[in-house]
Amino acid sequence: MIPYGRQSISQADIDAVVKVLKSDFLTQGPVVPRFEQTVADYCGAKFGVAVNSGTAALHIACLALGVGHGDWVWTSPISFVASANCALYCGAQVDFVDIEPDTGNMCAVELERKLIAAQAEGKLPKVVIPVHFAGLPCDMQDIHRLGQEYGFRIIEDACHALGARYHGEPTGNGRYSDITIFSFHPVKIITTGEGGMAMTNDATLAKTMRLLRSHGITREPEDFINQPDGPWYYEQQKLGFNYRMTDIQAALGLSQMANLETWIRKRGELARRYFEALAPELLHRYFSAERRSAFHLFVHHVAPEQRAARFAQLRAQGIGANVHYMPIYKQPWYQRWAPGPLPHAEQFYAGAITLPLFPCLQIEQLDMVKNVLLNYFQTK
């Protein structure tokens, strides 16, 4: 079975992990800060806060921005549930903004329309979480402009988008948001097994997120509230979590960063081959000077009434097709209270099929996937 995504692990990666396993520190050692600095340098951000998942990063980002009971957080319906769950963990309420029908990204026009209505009702969001779906950056200039106008903070959910660029600048540099989140799950651009990172240029936010990832505990004397009674002293100052990344994970991520640009180029080459054969009309949306996608996923669209049959045909040929994503508001947990359907999100989901895309995918394998889809038309 050709999977829709998979990790690439080299001998250098294995050696880096083994080196940590033989060292004095498996966790809370020097490798995590090195990994944080490497990702921050790559993105052009001042701070990186490594945690044990992208979900954990989203959670502490919301908390650092003061999200709590009575607040509204808006996000995209076409995403993994963590993009919304992170706000619920804080006691906030969640709502969804409809998407661009051709990219799956939050639509800035729909966001503005919703903001105008929410302002009239006194229900403006405290935080908006645009999701860079499949690795393509959202229209962050317009979303940032709206944030300035309506007073909300912005968390970029870039869990798909490490290595993406927007107007020539790396996603994660913080020009248009308060915090940017990356994920290092095995099917993402680089992996730490499980892991995530929150990027910010705000020293206070970084400090708060570091505190929250480690039980709310600090050992820094300059931060103590009470007088220490010895060199062993530490303080829990917040109700935090055990969200730390281990040095074992960080060693893998640090090693993988050496291949990031190569993998981004390879993903782009493979995606272009798909687009040229299956959806040439979308090439200009994904290959332009304005936005460079990281191409975490390649989502192809078919007629909704054909999807089940074509999905089954791909699976029967040993192709691990998938679907990303059912709108979050259709999940049973959300159906109890979430608002009604959003037309573009419904349409996007109805015909979506995720095709295999990862750096070590062979051209022969891609062509097989492509031909299965093209031959479907010839046999109908």
Q: What pLDDT, in 10s, does the model give residues 190-249?
A: 999 999 999 999 999 999 999 999 999 999 999 999 999 999 999 999 999 999 999 999
Distance CA 305, CA 307 (A): 6
Closest CA to 351 of 295, 311, 319: 311
pLDDT in tens, 58-69: 999 999 999 999
Mean pLDDT of 102-117: 98
* Helix-strand-coil split of the chain, %, nearest 5: 45, 15, 40
- Verify that 203 and 249 share a domain, yes or no: yes
- 2 within domain boundaries: no
Cα end-to-end span (Å), the chain: 25
Distance CA 255, CA 16 (A): 7
Bridge partners of 182, per DSSP, are 197
* pLDDT in the model for residue 377: 52
- Verify that 273 and 253 share a domain, yes or no: no
Assign residue 141 the CATH number of its domain. 3.40.640.10
- Verify that 269 and 236 share a domain, yes or no: no
Rounded to whole angstroms, the maximal C-alpha distance in the chain is: 79
pLDDT in tens, 136-159: 999 999 999 999 999 999 999 999
Among candidate residues 242, 258, 274, the one where a domain is terminated: 258
Domain count of the fold of the chain: 2
For residue 377 the two structure tokens come to 């038309």
- Verify that 136 and 226 share a domain, yes or no: yes
Mean residue pLDDT of the chain comes to 97
Among candidate residues 212, 243, 258, the one where a domain is terminated: 258
pLDDT in tens, 82-108: 999 999 999 999 999 999 999 999 999
Is pTM beyond 0.85? Reply is yes
Distance CA 223, CA 216 (A): 12
pLDDT in tens, 28-37: 999 999 999 9
Among candidate residues 225, 258, 291, the one where a domain is terminated: 258
* pLDDT in the model for residue 164: 98
Apex 80 CA angle, 153 and 63, nearest 5: 35
For residue 257 the two structure tokens come to 């960063």
Q: Above 70 in pLDDT, residue 373?
A: yes
Domain of 277 in residue numbering reads as: 261-378
- Verify that 276 and 250 share a domain, yes or no: no
pLDDT in tens, 334-371: 998 877 799 999 999 999 999 999 999 999 999 999 99
Distance CA 166, CA 157 (A): 14
Mean pLDDT of 3-11: 97
For residue 353 the two structure tokens come to 């099929």
Distance CA 83, CA 156 (A): 10
pLDDT band at 376 (very low <50, low <70, confident <90, very high): low
- Verify that 22 and 165 share a domain, yes or no: yes
